[in-house]
Structure 1
Amino acid sequence: MILTSQAFAEPQNIQTADDIKNVLVFYIDDLRPELGCYGVNSIQSPSIDTLASEGVLYERAYCQQALCAPSRISMMSGQYPDHTGIVDLFTPLRKVNKTAMTLPLYFQQRGYVTASFGKVYHHLRDDKTSWSEIPEPPSEKYADPETLAAIARRVEDAKEQKLDVNQTRLAAKGPPTECFVTEDEGYRDGIVANQAIASLQENKDKPFFMCVGFAKPHLPFAAPKRYWDLYEPDQFTVPSRQRPEGSPDLAFTIWGELRGYQGIPQEGELSDEMTRELMHGYAASVSFADAQVGKVMAELDRLGLRDNTIVVLWGDHGYKLGDYGLWCKHTNFELDAHVPLIISAPGHARGRRTKALVEMIDIFPTVASMTGGEVPESCDGESLQPLLQNPNQDFKPFALTQYPRGSTMGYSMRNDRYRYTEWIQAGTKRVVARELYDHQHTSTPDKNLAGSPDQSERISRLSVQLDAARRIENTNVNMKK
């Protein structure tokens, strides 16, 4: 029997047997798959590295859109963005779909305590009736009182001048980096970790589904000074600003939110000095977030809950740190689609890695099946449990990512070696641009191969495969409406 959202109309009583599995999911914002456990020894991430040693690390995991809101909604529903209908930053899930099955609703209706701390959905109150706990998160992004005072003055000036919402929002931005002597609780992620720890203590005797969302390393790259001190400023190498030869303009993006921070020029490239400072701040923020993961995991261990808790850690999308002369996310490039994913589950593989291609829509069916539940028919993903038992097997032939540019949608398919992308106009359904990158040896290839005559056969084959995948996806949407 395959369950639907209608099948969950009434809560199901869940037994309190010892084999009932809790679920703890860590959300890390803007996290590149560059950690010690991913082979990048220059990044200090001991807590996440320890988690990887206790589970399975997915070397080739991909988000479905490189933007916070649609990526998180896609993961929480187990559906592609074309299925959820949300591909922008401003639309909460429940604004467009009141009844969609989501992870918190699924576990709530199975009798679990469902708790959300920090940034889980992009919109804090999204899916609010599905959560048992959803406290107000701390709002401060900075710890330096002078920085906070300067922001407050700018916002007050904007209000007095009756500036519009966008101008007022820009006034509320501070510098892109901050290195301040403070305890972890001086920043909101430190408080979020404490909120999660308190909930673990309160609910230790109940089955729980808990999501803990850490905002770092999202901008601003602000973290306690001791995390900055883990790195030397001169250890960071400015990446090449050269864009891939032959790539269409649609492939690229403006810098997104970075331009809005104080001290960032409104046009042109950043200096090498500023680039290194941002890279330093990003690394410090990763280590700060890593430490918060460690605190929550330490409490899970202390409470004796580790042996019956499935732990998932994922990044909502990748990030560019000056690569190709670009910043932030908002593209279909490998740098933005490739994300970290670690799953540690009692009774399954430990300290293993897999090269299987997986997608973030696979998380929902994974934790559903591993906790003894049926996978809702609304899920587009597949359970990763077979890879947790045997990480060496194949899983999917490709992973899909998409990103819109106005009325044109870019659909991108990553297979074992290549990333192939088609940009399709909404009205005419015409393919207006193509990209093909060889990722056999690099995540930043320097040439778009789509225009190469010797690649025409491969492009034709990949185009048919991508079109078929999109048709299946759209068929699923029509069937489930």
Structure 2
Amino acid sequence: MKTINFQFQILKLFILFVSVLLTGNGILFADEPSPTRATTANKKNVLFFHIDDLRPELGCYGKTYIQSPNIDALATQGVLFKRAYCQQALCAPSRISMMSGMYPDTTGICDLWTPITKVMPDAMTMPRYFKQRGYETFSFGKVYHHTRDDKKSWTKLSPKKTIKYANKDTLDGIKQRTEDGKKRGVDINTLRTLGKGPAFEIADVDDEAYPDGQTAYEAIESLRGVKDKLFFMCVGFAKPHLPFAAPKKYWDLYQRDDFDVPDRALPEGSPSLAFTKWGELRNYMGMPDSGHLSDDQTRELKHGYAACVSFADAQVGKVLAELDRLGLRESTIIVLWGDHGYKLGDYGAWCKHTNLELDTHIPFMVSAPGFAKGEQTDSLVEMVDVFPTLAKITGGDVPESCDGKSLEEVLAKPDTKIRDFAISQYPRGKTTGYSLRNARWRYTEWINSTSGNVVARELFDHQSLSLAKRNLADDPQHASLIAELSKQLNTTDRIIALAIEKP
């Protein structure tokens, strides 16, 4: 027995010696291989930018009134998707859906309050997937809506930042109003509103005075520390989410009179289910409890939104500049997305929370070594497609749990089509609206979850990609089209069967 053990030890030493010669990396057969460049020469890093409430109105999307030079430059280095759609126009379910590759009906998460680890603790998410493959996984800023969601999947998870304002006068005012409210015994909802402060802020401060500037700094520091290892790094910027607070230099990029006041008319014949009262904005100081914003308020907030987009763009630029400085661009796949769209006074409405084109159409681009550069594609894609795509182009297998499709073929040949339509959804109590978007039409059915009955329909013509002005669902001329679109919508894997409550 002693002879066998001695021979076994000699064999182990021989294997260790050979592994050092072949890899220069030491222990080849460790339980968790070190993900260094020596052992993963053909694998790629992933740098993933998450941007909150970002409309596809950037220079690279042909909207020159927005100054977004860094995102525009990234678009020239990869493939820009002109027809990308989120699964639900709300932060938490949209981000969970994208990070898991599963539809909201699969996860069961359609609200702001439920983290994925609460209902699916063993779900295969992107950070978990890449961590299991030996990647260092990082989360900075707003990635999931709940900052500590999926926390075991991250090698490093930055603490949540709650700073929304930088001006001392703003902060002092919020503190005083909150204290006064407590003395008056106001209800908790009113107290939360008092704590929100104004809807915008112009502060003569450095970028790092706000969370997004701090997030960029953290990402840069971590890139320096992980440059010799494989990494999956998510960098989430909160702007241009409300409040529209950004350093003064970004406000100075624009003139207030450059912003117009959109037409406030709702599309003719639209069901009330199609819109919201945009309470998210009304909770901020100075906003009306009902009715429209004034023209001055509209221009003021549009100016603030643009400033915040440019602020977020600058942070993207800082991180990408460091990636280049470290010589990592050619070994890194870069993804940038907005979690959903946004209304800026369009239809007289604000924020998201609908199935409308404005809320579900998002910016999305992928720059991947070995794939197309400087290309744009009209291929319809959903955000559940991101996980399968990154799995495939990093040399891995797509998890069986993923509902989406890999975009690998589109990245190689941007004129490739993988979908005939994209699906989005939004709940209104016991009624859920499911929206189908093809190359021209947006068709929506509002389905009662108890009976399965369709209680309202919408049909909008987006041939010119302009705002729809009329709901055509009741137009007899479109009856056959509606029948065809309804059939397509209801033959998808999750519609109707998942919408109806089980007995």
Report the TM-score range of the alignment, normalised by the length of the smaller protein. over 0.9
What residue in structure 1 maps to residue 132 of structure 2?
A: 109
- Measured in 2, the distance between the counterparts of 1:291 and 1:14 equals 31
Superimposed CA distance per residue, residues 350-384 of structure 1 (whole angstroms, 9 cap, x where no aligned partner): 00000000011111011111111110000001111
**Residue 400 in 1 paired to residue 428 in 2?**
no
**Residue 310 in 1 paired to residue 329 in 2?**
no
Superimposed CA distance per residue, residues 91-149 of structure 1 (whole angstroms, 9 cap, x where no aligned partner): 11111111111001111111111100000000011001111111214321111011011
3-state SS, counterpart of residue 257 of structure 2: helix
TM-score by length of 2: 0.91
- Measured in 2, the distance between the counterparts of 1:466 and 1:17 equals 43
Residue from 128, 147, 172 that aligns with 2:195: 172
Task: Tell me by how many angstroms 1:155 deviates.
Answer: 2.6
Task: Tell me by how many angstroms 1:256 deviates.
Answer: 3.0
Superimposed CA distance per residue, residues 415-469 of structure 1 (whole angstroms, 9 cap, x where no aligned partner): 1100000000010000000000000013311000001000000000110110001
The 8 Å contact of residues 74 and 80 in structure 1, kept in 2 or not, is answered as: yes
What residue in structure 2 maps to residue 126 of structure 1?
A: 149
- Measured in 1, the distance between the counterparts of 2:143 and 2:183 equals 34
- Measured in 2, the distance between the counterparts of 1:382 and 1:227 equals 38
The 8 Å contact of residues 256 and 330 in structure 1, kept in 2 or not, is answered as: no
What residue in structure 2 maps to residue 4 of structure 1?
A: none
What residue in structure 1 maps to residue 308 of structure 2?
A: 285
Superimposed CA distance per residue, residues 304-359 of structure 1 (whole angstroms, 9 cap, x where no aligned partner): 11110000000000000000110000000000000000100011110000000001
Greater shift, 142-151 or 310-319, is seen at: 142-151
**Residue 469 in 1 paired to residue 469 in 2?**
no
Residue from 362, 379, 396 that aligns with 1:373: 396
TM-score by length of 1: 0.95
The 8 Å contact of residues 82 and 474 in structure 1, kept in 2 or not, is answered as: no
3-state SS, counterpart of residue 473 of structure 2: helix
Residue from 42, 59, 84 that aligns with 1:19: 42
Note the residue ranges of structure 2 that are not aligned, 5 or more in a row.
Answer: 1-30, 499-503
What is the identity, as a one-letter code, of the residue corresponding to 1:286? Answer: V
Task: Tell me by how many angstroms 1:160 deviates.
Answer: 4.4
What is the identity, as a one-letter code, of the residue corresponding to 1:368? Answer: A
Task: Tell me by how many angstroms 1:472 deviates.
Answer: 7.2
Residue from 340, 348, 355 that aligns with 2:378: 355
- Measured in 1, the distance between the counterparts of 2:214 and 2:465 equals 38
- Measured in 2, the distance between the counterparts of 1:247 and 1:437 equals 10
- Measured in 2, the distance between the counterparts of 1:341 and 1:137 equals 25
The 8 Å contact of residues 52 and 239 in structure 2, kept in 1 or not, is answered as: yes
Task: Tell me by how many angstroms 1:153 deviates.
Answer: 2.0
> Alpha carbons of 1:471 and 1:319: their partners in 2 closer, same or farther (altered >3 Å)?
closer
- Measured in 2, the distance between the counterparts of 1:124 and 1:393 equals 36
The 8 Å contact of residues 490 and 496 in structure 2, kept in 1 or not, is answered as: no
What is the identity, as a one-letter code, of the residue corresponding to 2:78? Answer: G
Counting only pairs closer than 5 Å after superposition, residues 135-146 of structure 1 correspond to structure 2 as: 135-146=158-169
Superimposed CA distance per residue, residues 225-244 of structure 1 (whole angstroms, 9 cap, x where no aligned partner): 11011111001111100110
What residue in structure 1 maps to residue 14 of structure 2?
A: none
3-state SS, counterpart of residue 277 of structure 1: helix
> Alpha carbons of 1:252 and 1:470: their partners in 2 closer, same or farther (altered >3 Å)?
farther
Identity of aligned pairs, percent? 62
Superimposed CA distance per residue, residues 35-67 of structure 1 (whole angstroms, 9 cap, x where no aligned partner): 000000110000000100100000000000000
3-state SS, counterpart of residue 69 of structure 1: helix
The number of residues matched between the two structures is 469
Residue from 89, 112, 116 that aligns with 2:112: 89
- Measured in 2, the distance between the counterparts of 1:300 and 1:255 equals 39
What residue in structure 1 maps to residue 281 of structure 2?
A: 258
The structure whose Rg is larger is: 2
The 8 Å contact of residues 137 and 188 in structure 1, kept in 2 or not, is answered as: no
Note the residue ranges of structure 1 that are not aligned, 5 or more in a row.
Answer: 1-9, 476-481
- Give the CA RMSD over aligned residues: 1.8
Task: Tell me by how many angstroms 1:473 deviates.
Answer: 9.1
